Amino acid sequence: MTSVGSLLAGTGGGVQMATLDDGTEVVVKSAEPSAIAAEAAGLRWLADPGTVGVPEVLGETEGRMVSTRVPSGRADRDAAETFGRGLAALHAAGASAFGAPPPGGPVHAWIGEARMVNETGEHWPSWYAEHRVLPHARRALRGDDLALVERACARFDDVAGPSEPPARLHGDLWTGNVLWSGGRGWVIDPAAHGGHRETDLAMLALFGAPELETILAAYDEAAPLADGWRDRVGLHQLWPLLVHAELFGGGYGDRALTVCSRIAS
């Protein structure tokens, strides 16, 4: 008998597909227990406003989660417009503070394979520097490179734009974490927390999402972005670039340093 309980008790690792006895297709994910706890709490938090597609968490145990599977589909203009409006509404659902974890989620969470600590703050530029940019920079960079990031962080107040309330972020919204099915976008694998809404949009742009301009136009129509938001894309991409530099090296650190040079000059 294939049930949620039997899948949670399984021994396989990684990500597996399965079908329950009632025909429901599910994803079974195994990982470090705090990563599973953070992902399950994040999915529930993102699903709560009902604004974008989010797989349903059917069950979780220590280090293992079962969620519904999103059928494969494709992005088109209508789906992208729906997703843009839904993402704006998701962000507007808000969070209690910058860095606030989803209810029931751990403080020590993850973005991909990198640690992400959900310490809270009320002032976005200083919180972003202290709890998102600098931790990964200190693990990825040394010497003059790290000093450049620190100089850029000292100028975040000057370049961050108007203050905004904490948004309910997916937190790792690169194109691989957006699926398209049933005429809408679905989000998976969150690093959910309270943050600045422009961060999610900058992540969408980092590796090129399909119908990106349609998504952004629909978002901006539903919840107008502050003037100059396109000039701040690099600022908001610093965090994922430094996460990638920490995990993979390569040119990600160089890209982050190029952004920091512009900010620090």
Burial class (CB in 10 A: 0-12, 13-18, 19+), 138: middle
Over residues 233-258, mean pLDDT: 96
Question: What distance in Å separates the CA atoms of residue 186 and residue 180, rounded to the nearest whole number?
Answer: 6
All domains in the chain, ordered by first residue = 71-264 (3.90.1200.10)
Is residue 13's pLDDT more than 70?
no
Whether the pLDDT of residue 1 is over 60: the answer is: no
pLDDT tens column, 200-242: 999 999 999 999 999 999 999 999 999 999 999 999 999 999 9
Query: What would the pLDDT profile of 90-132 be if each residue is shown by its tens digit?
Result: 999 999 999 999 999 999 999 999 999 999 999 999 999 999 9
8 has a pLDDT exceeding 80: no
Report how far residue 170's alpha carbon sits from residue 163's, in angstroms, rounded to the nearest whole number: 20
The pLDDT value recorded for residue 250 is 84
Residues 239, 40, 201, 254, Cα dihedral to 10° = 20
What's the CA gap between 93 and 167, in Å, rounded? 7
pLDDT reading at 12 higher than 70: no
Rounded average pLDDT over 6-24: 79
Angle 168-59-65 from CA coordinates, rounded to 5°: 75
**DSSP codes of every residue in 178-243:** EEEETTEEEE-S---EEE-HHHHHHHHHHTT-TTHHHHHHHHHHHSPPPTTGGGGHHHHHHHHHHH
pLDDT tens track for 139-191: 999 999 999 999 999 999 999 999 999 999 999 999 999 999 999 999 999 99
Helices (H), ranges, 48-196: 77-92, 124-128, 134-140, 143-153, 156-159
Amino acid at 27: V
pLDDT of 7 over the 80 cut: no
What pLDDT shows up at residue 6? 67
Q: What is the pLDDT confidence band of residue 9, given thresholds at 50, 70 and 90?
A: confident
Which of residues 4 and 44 earns the better pLDDT score? 44
DSSP state of 176: G
Residue 206: which of 166, 172, 156, 158 has the closest Cα? 172
pLDDT-based confidence at 262, cuts 50/70/90? Answer: very high
Which amino acid appears at position 72 of this protein?
S
* Token pair belonging to 119: 């310490």
